[in-house]
Amino acid sequence: MTRSLTILGATGSIGSSTLDLIRGERDKWRVKALTANCSARELAALAIEFGADMAVVGDETCLADLRDALSGTSIKAMGGPQALCEAAAAGADVTVAAIVGCAGLAPVMAAVEQGSTIALANKETLVSAGDILMQAVERHGATLLPTDSEHNAIFQCLHGQNMADVRWITLTASGGPFREWSAEQLAKATREQALKHPNWDMGAKITIDSATMFNKGLELIEAWHLFPVGLDRLRIVVHPQSVIHSMVEYRDGSTLAQLGPSDMRVPIASCLAWPSRMDTACKPLDLPAIGHLNFFHPDEERFPATKLAREAAEAGGAAPAVLNAANEVAVAAFLAGQIAFTQISALVADTLAKPLPPAPTSLAEVLAVDAEARQLALRILEPA
């Protein structure tokens, strides 16, 4: 049976891994839409290779290049934020949502409203609009499959189990490239050093988030929405080898863990084939070669991001959206050389310390909170 597929963020790491998987199963997939922020030539080449119905750039200034690259084909070229939503609403059987940042909020909601299956790799959607999104999923009968390696691991460990029997859900964290660095060393960390993740090949934003541990803080909030056991039953453990991607402990003392290589094709394949399985080209685990697995408590003095995220979740309302927006501003400032590595968490904390706007009750209000928080973070950033 052939299924239709849309990939929101086709030229990023998640999108590229998804396309790599379906290259081996071309007879099972029909690509409806591929999107990118710009990367018009790359997007056009992928759209032609996979015979997509449409290709969409979020940045409308790139549309002319996209149309030129698709000239002579029947592939529809579109551009702009509304076009991203049209692509998401194209009615694909499976939509892989991998747009980084709050730019992915509206397209994800458009996909949910179709009532189909969404493989969610956009952290910010659940962090900033978790309540609104989960209500929409239930209202429209959509199926939400977590694609982050940690949440996908939890999803697999919970399969067929009763949520009331869960004692703990444990998110594992690699600790990033600076796990053993002192506070003094962290203050001098460079952009190049922060972008060298020891285990995973990811985009710049996510890689920096891993280095600060904000990635794990955002994932904590995601897990809170996806797996409603309560914040007090969610914990984080640093696991440098990134072999165990997460664990679920049950009230009888049993702990189920999902293990796999540090390759995003594994959780993506889990979502694409769900509730079945599919072949991948991922190298199998060689446990004797790995030899040992280590676990540590997170250090929230050197890496306060997880503490800030938990506090934002506890505060509720607009706090998670403000946390996310401020972090995006801070990461961009660090990548641009405007602030030091340790100032990322400080800027987020300073933004959260200001009076918060009212709790958003719609996607439009979430986007308004996001915009307001970004402006506030930028104003705080100005003297830095």
Binding residue ranges for Mn(2+): 148, 150, 219
**Contacts with 155 (C-beta within 8 Å, 6 or more apart), sequence order:** 145, 146, 226, 270
The annotated binding site is made up of 11-14, 122-124, 148-150, 174, 197, 203, 210, 215-216, 219
The annotated binding site for NADPH is made up of 11-14, 122, 124, 203
Calpha distance 47→299 (Å, rounded):
45
**Contacts with 212 (C-beta within 8 Å, 6 or more apart), sequence order:** 176, 303, 305, 331, 341, 344, 345
Tokens of 32: 């409806």
Q: What does the DSSP 8-state code read for residue 59? A: S
The residue among 381, 46, 313, 282 whose CA lies nearest residue 57 is: 46
SS3 label, residue 357: coil
**Rg for the chain (alpha carbons), in Å?**
20
Quickly tell me which residue has 């759209």 as its tokens.
47
Tokens of 68: 């030129």
The annotated binding site for 1-deoxy-D-xylulose 5-phosphate is made up of 123, 149-150, 174, 197, 210, 215-216, 219
Calpha distance 111→113 (Å, rounded):
5
CB atoms closer than 10 angstroms to residue 282: 15
